[in-house]
Structures are given as structure tokens and as C-alpha cells.
Chain A
Amino acid sequence: MRQLFHAEGILNRDFVGQITYTVCLEKPCRAMDIAMTFDRQHFSEEDITPEMEESVLLEIREKYGLSPDPCELRRMMLQDMKTEIHLLAMMNDTFIGCIHRQLTERHMHFENGLATEGCLPVDRFEGVLQVTVLVFNVIMDGTRYTLSVSGEEDQDAAPV
């Protein structure tokens, strides 16, 4: 497969929303792989400051009436709080897949009438591919993500 598109970005803490990349395919493709990675999914011990603990405690007390002890709060921040980013793809405005598993590296692979779970098989990619990075939660500034689209182009086809 040949890489058709590559993008990288840096997300700030608390961003919620999506970033959509539109790829106009120069040639039809018989197979496609869409890959996304991101880092800083969870806090490390060093990331957590007393101010952050206080802020989270206030938030969950106000929203949910929760008052965990300091040890439990730390566990919740280390294990339960996470950066959550998903990946959605549309071909010519038609849904072809979404990967919802909590992975920091995920692929949508389409080939020979098969597709990664979460995706619908596509025999031929021709037209406009839209890949959307769905950002549900970013817990740390400077969270990096990458997106790449690779395709096996149909060499016999004339350019679109």
C-alpha cells in the first residue's frame, strides 16, 4: 500500500469536538488502511498535582456527590480519567466505519471484501474519503495524534 495522506496534530487539554480530514482520491483504491495514534492517554503519577486533585474532587463532588478518600481519588485519576479519541470514516458521505475501542493505535483496514470490526466492507474506494478524529476528552495539554491513510491503488484505472 502507498501512503496517500499523513497528518499530525497537537491537542490542548479539554478540547471536545472533531477534526475532519477530507481526502480526494486521485485514483480508485482496491484496499485501504486508515491509522490513527495518540499519546498521553492516562496520567502518570508525576502528572498529578495537588491542585489537579483538588479540582477533580470539587468537580465530582458537585456533579455526582462523590467524595472519595485521597487514595481512591488518586486511583480514579490514574485509571478512570483518560484521553478518549475515536475514529470515524465516511466514503462519499456514506458511513464506512467507526473504531470505538480504547486503543492508542487503531486501524481501519479494508481489503478483499473484509473490514476491521467496526467497519463495513468496501470493494472499491473511489471519490472522496472523509476521516474524522472524534475527540471526546483530552486530559493533558500537548497530546499528540497522527493520522495516515494508505491505499492500494488500482494501477489500471485512469486518474479520476
Chain B
Amino acid sequence: MPKMVLAGIEIEVDEDGFIQDPEKWNEEVAKALAETEGVTELTEDHWKVINYLRQYYQQFGIAPMIRKLCKETGFSLKQIYDLFPSGPAKGACKIAGLPKPTGCV
């Protein structure tokens, strides 16, 4: 497993840069991950998405449905793409410290 130094700590990431241990995640790590995704600043809107993703993941062990994510945060899919250019799965989940979504998503 490759390692990356994010916000001063060494963290294991997979080949796509998703952190492997969700426990290592904190807001500083999120900011560092955001930079790897070309998101230079995490605004309130970004946090709304990130927090919802984390909360759902902690409850169910998986990222939420995209439709539910949109509904709960009030953003359209297009707005989510504007916030996270690589999209909800590859972009938002990565910054939120979730594992990379699998299957046909």
C-alpha cells in the first residue's frame, strides 16, 4: 500500500488516493485530500456534503445513494459536480475519507 503525508501525518492510501483507515480522517486531512482532487477551498457547501457522507457511512457502512445525497443536502447532481469535479463517488467520497465506492456506480 502506498503512503501519503496528509496534513502532517503519514496515512495509507489505495492506488486511487482513498485513505484506508477512516479513523485517521479529520478536517485537516480532508483539506489535504481536497487539494489532491483540485479543490482548493472547502466551503460550507463542501462540508455539508462531506458531513452527510460521513454520517451515512458511519450508520450504514456504505456511501449513500446519490439521489439521497442530493435530497438531503439540497444540491443537484450538477452542483455536486461543481463542488467536486471528479463527482460524488471519486471526488466527494475521497475527501470525506470513505473507501472508494465499488460496483457499477
Pair from one complex: no
